Structure 1
């Protein structure tokens, strides 16, 4: 049967043409992600020495490798929380018609366009011991000696917040824009204060969207690599799991171990996302009365 005849028969059965175009694309995307994952998974069970689980045993028995999970969580979770929570009041104020909304949105997107490397270079210029921040504070007598804000935990956290906040803000703004403002106006006519309207109407409708925003922000922060190297301490306080995977694969040339570390990294992310989505399933599910 020719392709044209097959499409005609499917069309007679009610199969939409758009669906016919989407199915091959979906299969291609699935293979694009599934093949590297499956290849890395089977490679992780082929260690240079020992049994199939030798790489995983080595990871969890080596404190230097095992601690990378906690170090990365200490960076990823706070960064995602700060980005999501900080985006709510700003997006809430800017939803609907707001003078200068396009300009502010454009300025907030600048860190995304600059990228992590340029952001890290900027942090080094401003927050390093010889940067402007320390020069001003020591010059006016607030500090006796420069405070260390880079090449450690705080430098990486600042970088993750700067680069991740615009992403979280745009998602939060889109969710808020989809909530029908007439719901709050109706509550106002019944005597609800602005705080009560936000707490009992807007926030319950926004919470499912915030859960998804947190998951995406967390994945972005948990996979931190260049910031941990440029403005962190890659061999110490910011020895994150992505650096461990890179070192074992490309410094020690142990690709099997590197794949195992990457698989553990994926499992940790999936566990956190699973817990958040489980919590999300208990929230309101349905239309918000607007675009969403």
Structure 2
């Protein structure tokens, strides 16, 4: 049967072709997202001892485990805010025609394609005790001993910054490209300065997009694991919640506790996202006058 004939027969039966296309997508979501979540949620309520909430109680009553929430937030929130904040002025200058724009955006994708493991390895070679940065400082006489920038908080911070900035920048650039530039031109004809045009026109239109970018960047940073191990201190100041979940599951073999920690991890992310989207709901939600 030809495709037009099949489409006509489906239309006669009242079956929309778009509905049929949604079926594989729904199955994909159920198999890869909904089922694993439900399985993990159910497993978190089946600890060997302590009752249904025993795994959650074990996590929250242990300060060493509970503090991983705050440790992860101390890393992810500043990184997400800084990545989004730095992306705005750079993307604002590049939103129009910019020589070398395609080359620059291609180069920014490199940290994403390399991944966190290779990025962390590069940081060890550059910022480590025997890295180029410390060699330059010691050679210039600025310090007598290597500055410790790896295997601590700052090593993970720089790693997340390098891998997260291109992602945030490309998103902000796409949102800015969707804002109609004639809005600013009209304001310029009325005597508005560049700062006034950005603060009163571009930023309010961009703010909803910034909220979405922040949420995605925050989730990316909150789930940090390789960087916290390779260039951090996984037993101390960079013991993030993902390490706690891995330790419970693959060192203690307590899968109920590991699932409970993963659920707590998701709930913390949802709280931050809900606060951000709640703030976003108070902003402008109409058309930006351009591609967006």
1:167 and 1:216 map into 2 onto residues whose CA distance is 9
Partner of 1:80: 80
Alpha-carbon deviation of 1:10?
5.4
Flag structure 2 segments of 5+ consecutive residues without an equivalent: none
1:195 and 1:269 map into 2 onto residues whose CA distance is 34
Q: How does 1:1-292 map to 2 (within 5 A)?
A: 11-12=11-12, 16-292=16-292
- Tell me the TM-score normalized by structure 1: 0.95
Alpha-carbon deviation of 1:11?
1.8
1:212 and 1:148 map into 2 onto residues whose CA distance is 34
SS at match of 2:273: helix
**Which contiguous aligned blocks of 4+ residues in structure 1 show a shift greater than 6 angstroms?**
none
SS at match of 1:142: coil
2:86 and 2:67 map into 1 onto residues whose CA distance is 29
1:203 and 1:16 map into 2 onto residues whose CA distance is 40
SS at match of 1:71: helix
SS at match of 2:141: coil
1:212 and 1:15 map into 2 onto residues whose CA distance is 35
SS at match of 1:279: helix
Flag structure 1 segments of 5+ consecutive residues without an equivalent: none
- Tell me the TM-score normalized by structure 2: 0.95
SS at match of 2:52: coil
Alpha-carbon deviation of 1:18?
2.7
| Residue 272 to residue 136, structure 1, CA distance change in 2 (3 Å) | same
Alpha-carbon deviation of 1:12?
3.9
Alpha-carbon deviation of 1:16?
3.7
Give the length in aligned residue pairs.
289
* CA RMSD of superposed structures (Å): 1.7
1:153 and 1:86 map into 2 onto residues whose CA distance is 20
SS at match of 1:120: helix
2:212 and 2:12 map into 1 onto residues whose CA distance is 39
1:143 and 1:212 map into 2 onto residues whose CA distance is 42
Which shows bigger deviation, 135-144 or 237-246? 135-144
2:13 and 2:220 map into 1 onto residues whose CA distance is 43
2:220 and 2:122 map into 1 onto residues whose CA distance is 20
1:72 and 1:28 map into 2 onto residues whose CA distance is 30
Alpha-carbon deviation of 1:149?
0.3
Alpha-carbon deviation of 1:8?
5.5
SS at match of 1:47: coil
1:30 and 1:168 map into 2 onto residues whose CA distance is 28
1:20 and 1:188 map into 2 onto residues whose CA distance is 50
1:120 and 1:24 map into 2 onto residues whose CA distance is 38
